[in-house]
Amino acid sequence: MSTSVLRTRCLASHRASLPLLNPLQAHIVSNKKRSINTQPAYPGHIPLTAFQNAFLAVGSAVMSLADPYRADMVAALGETTAGPALPRLRDIMLQSPEGTRILRERPRINTSTVDMQALARLPEGTFGRMYITWLERTGVTPDSRDPVHYIDDPELAYVMQRYRECHDFYHCINNFSVNVESELAIKYFEFANLGLPLAALSALFGPLRLNQKKRQRLFSEYVPWALKCGSTARCLITVYWEKRWEQDVVEMKKELGLLDSPARWPKPKSPQPVDLQASSAENVLGSR
Amino acid sequence: MQTLSGSLRRSVVSRHVYSALRYTSSQASSSSNQNNPKTTSFGFQTVPEDAKEGLVKNVFDSVASKYDLMNDATSLGVHRLWKDQFVADLKPGRNGSLRCIDVAGGTGDIALRILDYAREKYADRETTVEIVDINAQMLKEGYRRFKQTMYHNTPQVSFHEANAQELPSEKFVDNSYDLYTIAFGIRNCTSIPAVLKEAHRVLKPGGTFACLEFSKVNNPVLSTLYDQYSFSIIPLLGTILAGDRSSYQYLVESIRKFPPQPEFAQMIRDTGFRTGTDVDGGAWTELWGGVACIHTGVKL
């Protein structure tokens, strides 16, 4: 708590007020008025006034619901509604040695920082191999994450960016695909595990887009698992995934307190060459 | 650097010192950049003249598909009233059919209004409009729009990709048009005098030049509200609706860089047009307190 207060004091001298601060922090920064001419704090930073923040929050909420493929709108919603959740996550990171290391080194996850070839060469059962297989199965790339724009504090902006880049790992370690009900299951998980308002919003409104059968499966199977597992597991924002590529997946799940998920993968749409070795390894992992 | 140029702007400085400092400042001042032939303004940035065309092209390639939606959202539909008034004031078709050229008219708003006005008010089906735009994406949107009207595949409308500053003289012959319109396009051109010169060339003697453009709001209260709205809401609407903040930031900044009403009227006169007097209602007509403005001139 004291470190975060100190941090806020340093930042208050050249940063405008942050929305939704706790009362202790609020009285320190309350007489700073935000102006749209604030200098950007990091590349890509777009300072917003409180009104603009609210406007963007509402607008991005509507747009995310109308078109969930607008990833930039989901990202903007997350940033504008983050509020006190990011300082809280930062403090949780500071309380663990692994999390502190992440904050100090500020690693990024994209195809230039992660050696995909090396991951593919790892033995079966390791986390790295599981991740690369997951990427191939889902067709997702780690390069498509939007950069953070609307968080004023550079460190909190990094925490947000880290969350966004680790989101795929949460899918992967819990063996979920990337269709809508899996995304929602992970959002429930994230809400229980990390406490981000975006996760709660997506969890509340996302199911409106599902049909009855999928919603049924979501709420009867995925959500109970997500809430139980998310709340008992370790806070995953503190995990330094890039240092754990060689770790055995089963051992990792045990360490982090993750339970096996009831995830089911959809049938592939077009006939794809089946890699017998990979699929049998996944079956083994999934069944445990 | 920003504070330095701000305080210099307020104090009395000799012009050459000021323009020398402007080279080093990354943000353009509020005074016109026309005196410097090598650079021009791109919103609040100063860019080499050759670069502006490409930058503007990128902006309009990006906004083309959502252009009409964004116009409606950012102006809350008011742009339709402005365009209606623009065309109604011109009364196309009153004195017989006209040969019109609508420049920077990509999506066809003005062209459609001209043709509809002539048809509805004067039963005129001989008036033609040639829509000219430098950006192919915008023309594509216009062509697609016109397919929903009765003018598609008729000689009344045609689409041409050309640069307003250099209309090819084989296709756009001297002294051949009765009406030249340019709506919300001239501020995006690199050199306004060049556009005006081309307009003067292609118009017949007695032909009308009409320009609808965003202009300076003189009322301080309205101006403050307008600035707040422009710089706060419009880029956010661009982010939300079109996923593109920087294009709308450029569009909003380019409005501020455009010359105010008397200056622009003088530029029109300098080209050889005859205008009314330099008052609202004379050389120009203000709409909504100056948010938009219609400038007209007649070729002698």
Residue B204 in this model has a pLDDT that exceeds 90: yes
Higher pLDDT, A258 or B204: B204
B122-142 confidence digits (pLDDT tens): 999 999 999 999 999 999 999
Q: Is B190 annotated as a binding residue?
A: no
Residue B17 in this model has a pLDDT that exceeds 90: no
> Residue B243 has what pLDDT?
86
Measured in whole angstroms, the distance separating CA B208 from the mean position of its chain's CA atoms is: 16
pLDDT band at B179 (very low <50, low <70, confident <90, very high): very high
> Residue A195 has what pLDDT?
87
Q: Does A49 touch chain B (CB under 8 A)?
A: yes
- B244: nearest CA in chain A? A72
CB contact under 8 A, A72 and B243: yes
Residues of B with CB under 8 A from a CB of A: 231-233, 236-237, 239-241, 243, 245
Query: Minimum mean pLDDT among A29-33, A128-132, A231-235, B137-141: which range?
Result: A29-33
The mean pLDDT value of chain B amounts to 86
Q: Does A38 touch chain B (CB under 8 A)?
A: no
Distance CA A181, CA A262 (A): 12
CB contact under 8 A, B232 and A72: no
Q: Does A69 touch chain B (CB under 8 A)?
A: no
Instruction: Judge contact between A163 and A194, C-beta under 8 A.
Output: yes
B233: chain A residues, CB-CB within 8 Å: 52, 55
| Nearest CB neighbour to B232, from listed A52, A59, A73 | A52
Residue A160 in this model has a pLDDT that exceeds 90: yes
Out of A66-70, B66-70, B204-208, the most confident range is B204-208
Measured in whole angstroms, the distance separating CA B6 from the mean position of its chain's CA atoms is: 29
CB contact under 8 A, B240 and A46: no
C-alpha gyration radius of chain B: 19
Transcribe B237-261 into DSSP letters: HIIIIIS-HHHHHHHHHHHHHSPPH
Q: Using a pLDDT cut of 90, give the percent of chain B over it.
A: 65
Residues 252-271 of A with CB under 8 A from B: none
At B90, which amino acid appears?
L
Distance CA B28, CA B5 (A): 9
> Residue A6 has what pLDDT?
45
Instruction: Judge contact between A80 and B240, C-beta under 8 A.
Output: no
Task: Kindly state the DSSP code that residue A18 receives in the 8-state scheme.
Answer: P
Best to test chain B binding among A72, A79, A80 (most B CBs inside 10 Å): A72
Determine the average pLDDT of the residues in A62-86: 89
Distance CA A87, CA A259 (A): 28
CB contact under 8 A, A51 and B236: no
At B224, which amino acid appears?
T
User: Which residues make Cβ contacts (< 8 Å) with residue B223, sequence separation at least 6?
Assistant: B217
Residues 196-255 of A with CB under 8 A from B: none
B239: chain A residues, CB-CB within 8 Å: 56, 59, 72, 76
Q: Strand B177-183 and strand B203-214: pairing?
A: parallel
- B245: nearest CA in chain A? A46
CB contact under 8 A, B236 and A49: no
Q: Where are the domains of chain B?
A: 6-64, 77-216+258-299
B212-222 confidence digits (pLDDT tens): 999 999 999 99
- Element spanning A217, H or E: helix A212-217
CB contact under 8 A, B243 and A76: no
Point out which residues pair with B130 in neighbouring strands: B101, B158
Higher pLDDT, A177 or A94: A94
Residue B254 in this model has a pLDDT that exceeds 80: yes
Handedness of CA A71, A73, A79, A85 (dihedral sign): negative
The whole-model pTM stands at 0.73
Q: Does A26 touch chain B (CB under 8 A)?
A: no
Out of A23-27, A266-270, B45-49, the most confident range is B45-49
Burial call B41-76: b when 16+ CB within 10 Å, e when fewer: bbbbbbbeeeebbeebbebbebbbebbeebbebbbe
> Residue A18 has what pLDDT?
40
A70: chain B residues, CB-CB within 8 Å: 243
Distance CA B244, CA B239 (A): 5
CA distance B74 to chain A (A): 13
CB contact under 8 A, B240 and A56: yes
Measured in whole angstroms, the distance separating CA A97 from the mean position of its chain's CA atoms is: 20
Higher pLDDT, A41 or B266: B266
CB contact under 8 A, B232 and A56: no
| Nearest CB neighbour to A73, from listed B231, B240, B245 | B240
CA torsion, ordered A234, A236, A238, A242, to nearest 10 deg: 130
> Residue A113 has what pLDDT?
87
The mean pLDDT value of chain A amounts to 80
CB contact under 8 A, A51 and B240: no
Q: Is B163 annotated as a binding residue?
A: yes
Residue A67 in this model has a pLDDT that exceeds 70: yes
Residue B50 in this model has a pLDDT that exceeds 90: no
| Nearest CB neighbour to B236, from listed A59, A70, A72 | A59
* Homologous superfamily in CATH for domain B77-216+258-299: Vaccinia Virus protein VP39 (3.40.50.150)
CA distance A7 to chain B (A): 28
Residue A281 in this model has a pLDDT that exceeds 70: no
Q: Is the ipTM of this complex over 0.90?
A: no
pLDDT band at A40 (very low <50, low <70, confident <90, very high): confident
B231: chain A residues, CB-CB within 8 Å: 36
Alpha-carbon distance values, A25 to A6, A12, A34, A35, B25 (Å) = 10, 10, 16, 20, 37
Measured in whole angstroms, the distance separating CA A71 from the mean position of its chain's CA atoms is: 13
B26: chain A residues, CB-CB within 8 Å: none
Residue A30 in this model has a pLDDT that exceeds 80: no
Three-class secondary structure of residue A24 per DSSP: helix
Residue A254 in this model has a pLDDT that exceeds 80: yes
A49: chain B residues, CB-CB within 8 Å: 232
Q: Is B74 annotated as a binding residue?
A: no
Task: Kindly state the DSSP code that residue A219 receives in the 8-state scheme.
Answer: I
> Residue A266 has what pLDDT?
73
- A77: nearest CA in chain B? B240
Burial class (CB in 10 A: 0-12, 13-18, 19+), B223: middle
Query: Minimum mean pLDDT among A173-177, B23-27, B80-84: which range?
Result: B23-27
At A32, which amino acid appears?
K
> Residue A25 has what pLDDT?
41
CB contact under 8 A, B241 and A52: no
> Residue A270 has what pLDDT?
61
> Residue A262 has what pLDDT?
82
Q: Does A76 touch chain B (CB under 8 A)?
A: yes
The vertex-B10 CA angle with B6 and B16, nearest 5°, equals 85
Q: Does A59 touch chain B (CB under 8 A)?
A: yes
CB contact under 8 A, A73 and B232: no
Tokens of B49: 């003249």
Alpha-carbon distance values, B147 to A150, B112, B152, B161 (Å) = 42, 11, 5, 18
Nearest CA-CA partner of B167 in B130, B195, B203: B195
At B233, which amino acid appears?
I
Residue B51 in this model has a pLDDT that exceeds 90: no
Distance CA B102, CA B1 (A): 42
